[in-house]
Structure 1
């Protein structure tokens, strides 16, 4: 961690917006260079125009590939599109519209020219597809979100949400990326583009905000009179928080309504970069300074699919801690949910959630990393809550039907206020009660060096190939290479003992693998788990 972490950004830290935009339009990717090809990760294609990883040709080709994909899938309804506040999002949005209009796609842009959060796009897709008048035939809707999420200001991002409203699965993204790279290799000759002179509009903000009353208890929040602070961190939720305040009569302050593509008002993240991560103590340092001014203070990232929860008594909550509290509260206060509705978590999320699930008598549904895995369960109501350790989650409406199938940071931030209003306690106070009941886990993610060949071996590693039978003094009870919830490959391994576990997964961008580890026996035991995890994994992939 750099010694500048948590300190205000200085002029030397800021991007040159003009240079960034020029590079977007002028640079042409060379598809023979891997770093300049279209590559979809867990949340779409991301990169910077300055290193020719996110440029006009990438977006034109990717949009055409999405058009070709939806045509092949028989998707002929409207395409809902929104963008966040990153500097590259506006030109990428323009490029995408030119291609969509050139292909005669019925595209829906924001009615008021507003920024559009990821959950608002998911909500719009589901609202259209769940409308009885739109069912049948091929008139299903899908969407695009132009965002690199919490990534630094120089980055751009582009992701596709199919008709289920959530992140596209690997089959779809692999096809789209492959087709996009073919189009780039062909000089874009098969890309159709036209001036987007007239497109349809949709009130993303109004529809989303009005419908929130069906998933959050605003009456309880209003009656309590609690003081709420919401910081959009310069992101797409900036216009939404004021609308929520006005619609539901809340004592809510938009802490910082400023939008600045350089994010000059941010404090630097752990590595000295500007990054709008609401779960990072360093990035949220200036927000946390105001914790005494509010009963609940929250933050969102640039596309509002992540949340950060700040309380007067504890400051910024660890995302794992808040997920555990949210789960215990929701499953005790949502009588409209199915009695057999499971609790969804990714396999690198805290085992505190496992213990909460057991105490609630609810089935735990553990899946690989990636919110896409929760989509089917949220759609049919068999999973009422899905959450990731990286501060992304969503849950069902009060009547047990689907709300969003993508992460919703606005929703989880509002839930913190509902929890405070209904229980009279902050989420951090409630987490202390969980610790008293279930124990106090120590959790950390670290990186370990690995070559490309070693990362490839880890991604395909079978749990049975691990020869160790103990983990930091405890018998190993499980060696997993597939997720218990859906039997999907986890792209690595997870090793479990009674009071600890670790998971190892290769990085997609660096020559390292990630070790997630947790122990209910304290920090010293966690260090032993981490050290043994590295030995176990290195022995298995060498």
Structure 2
């Protein structure tokens, strides 16, 4: 943790936006450098033009590859395109629209040239395909690196189900895009975009909120609410939500600045719009006492941060547990067998809440894409990640979004406060009285590329240990119990604790997630033993 964490950004911390955009158009990627090739992680291709990793060459090639992929899959309906407030997003959208138009794809952009949050685009795809049964299906492109620093750009494909593309799709698109770049982008078709159709993403999304939340309860409560978009794509949405539903809601900071000069620095002195980070949210948390509920979103509004006057910034795991407890007690329109979806590195408090509700727990690997099938058919009522990303079904049990929705989860906190009369922080304290008070943390451990590759392929059988911090090991997992998909690492559990280890996709480290219901000291012992267990398996 840097000594500057949580302090206001200084001029020396800010990017030069002109330099960033110039590099986007002028720099040509060096394909012999793996860091400059197209690589789709769990949330699309990300990188900076300053590093030669996110340039016009990349975006033109990726878009051309998406055109070919959707044609191969028989997707011939409109393609919704939206972008967030990062400096590279607008140039990338211009490039993408030019490639789409030249290829005869019916692209749809925002009617008011507004920023488009990820959940708004996901909702648009779902609504279009629901409202046009039997017609050619729609899909979409979201241009965002999410909460990443201002120097980064991001580009993500959402197929007709509305959520993140699976690894088969992203692998195909990335491989094809790299082939196109290696061929000098000669296969790219491009024309200046001119005939793009439009759609009111914001109006449609805001009008629809009454179908997924009890907006009347929020309005009649008279609660004073605050929402900080953190300079992101939700900035125009919050004002319209307040107006449309008559809420006493203040947009705390409506500024949009591609340098994010108003942010406080994250733990490592980077400007990062992470609403779950106490350092990045320091200026927001300072105003906790001014509102019954105060919330934050990242740049594309797929993540949420919940601030209460009695608890400050909530740990994402704590809020997910409260949200699940509330929703499954206040959504009679959901299927009685609708499961609770969680990633395997989320808190075991969720397991205990699920058991108390008599609901099936559906535990999947890291990545929101795993929740998509269940949200689509209603067999999963809620899907959430420990990194403050979640979504859930509409009041009648149909799909809302199949991508993370930070606006939705922020408004849910207001509904919870309005209906129960208690803040989410109060409700979490009640859960700890019932189930125990777990200590949870994530740390990084050094690992070279070869070690990371081995970790990603480890089997539970490779773990020889029989105890974890004094307790017998009850499970050694390399595949998620919910859907049998590979974890890309391992998870080891005991009666009172667990740890999971996964390689980082961008750094020479592996991540150790750990939790103990025996307190912080036992958690520290679990973390130390986790490193020994994993290092032994990798030796």
Shorter-normalised TM-score: what interval?
over 0.9
Equivalent-residue separation in structure 2 for 1:121 and 1:260 (angstroms) = 22
- 1:92-241 to structure 2, matched below 5 A, reads 92-131=92-131, 134-136=132-134, 139-241=136-238
| TM-align CA RMSD | 0.5
- Segments of 4+ in structure 1 off by > 3 A? none
Question: 1:379 is matched with which residue?
Answer: 376
Q: SS of 2:458's equivalent? A: coil
Equivalent-residue separation in structure 2 for 1:199 and 1:17 (angstroms) = 26
Deviation per residue, 1:400-446 (Å, 9 max, x gap):
00000000000000000000000000000000000000000000000
Question: 1:24 is matched with which residue?
Answer: 24
Alpha-carbon deviation of 1:115? Answer: 0.2
Question: 2:13 is matched with which residue?
Answer: 13
Question: 1:478 is matched with which residue?
Answer: 475
Question: 1:398 is matched with which residue?
Answer: 395
TM-score by length of 2: 1.00
Equivalent-residue separation in structure 2 for 1:35 and 1:332 (angstroms) = 47
The size of the alignment, in residue pairs, is 539
Q: SS of 1:366's equivalent? A: strand
Equivalent-residue separation in structure 1 for 2:170 and 2:484 (angstroms) = 21
Equivalent-residue separation in structure 2 for 1:219 and 1:128 (angstroms) = 26
Question: 1:347 is matched with which residue?
Answer: 344
1:308 and 2:305 aligned: yes
Q: SS of 1:437's equivalent? A: helix
Which consecutive residues of structure 1, in runs of 5 or more, have no partner in the other structure?
A: none
Alpha-carbon deviation of 1:332? Answer: 0.2
Equivalent-residue separation in structure 2 for 1:416 and 1:379 (angstroms) = 24
Equivalent-residue separation in structure 1 for 2:508 and 2:304 (angstroms) = 29
Alpha-carbon deviation of 1:464? Answer: 1.2
Question: 1:91 is matched with which residue?
Answer: 91
Q: SS of 1:130's equivalent? A: helix
Deviation per residue, 1:11-52 (Å, 9 max, x gap):
000000000000000000011210110000000000000010
Equivalent-residue separation in structure 2 for 1:457 and 1:11 (angstroms) = 42
Question: 2:531 is matched with which residue?
Answer: 534
Question: 1:411 is matched with which residue?
Answer: 408
Question: 2:329 is matched with which residue?
Answer: 332
Alpha-carbon deviation of 1:210? Answer: 0.3
Which consecutive residues of structure 2, in runs of 5 or more, have no partner in the other structure?
A: none
Question: 1:80 is matched with which residue?
Answer: 80
Alpha-carbon deviation of 1:222? Answer: 1.0
Equivalent-residue separation in structure 1 for 2:35 and 2:485 (angstroms) = 28
Alpha-carbon deviation of 1:195? Answer: 1.1
Alpha-carbon deviation of 1:136? Answer: 2.2
Alpha-carbon deviation of 1:175? Answer: 0.2
Q: SS of 1:15's equivalent? A: coil
Question: 1:489 is matched with which residue?
Answer: 486
Equivalent-residue separation in structure 1 for 2:418 and 2:133 (angstroms) = 39
Question: 2:270 is matched with which residue?
Answer: 273
Deviation per residue, 1:272-294 (Å, 9 max, x gap):
00000000000000001111110
Equivalent-residue separation in structure 1 for 2:60 and 2:72 (angstroms) = 18
Deviation per residue, 1:271-326 (Å, 9 max, x gap):
00000000000000000111111000000000000000000001000000000000
Equivalent-residue separation in structure 2 for 1:105 and 1:539 (angstroms) = 52
Q: 2:521 aligns with which of 507, 510, 524?
A: 524
1:37 and 2:33 aligned: no
Q: SS of 2:268's equivalent? A: coil
Alpha-carbon deviation of 1:383? Answer: 0.2
TM-score by length of 1: 0.99
Question: 2:54 is matched with which residue?
Answer: 54
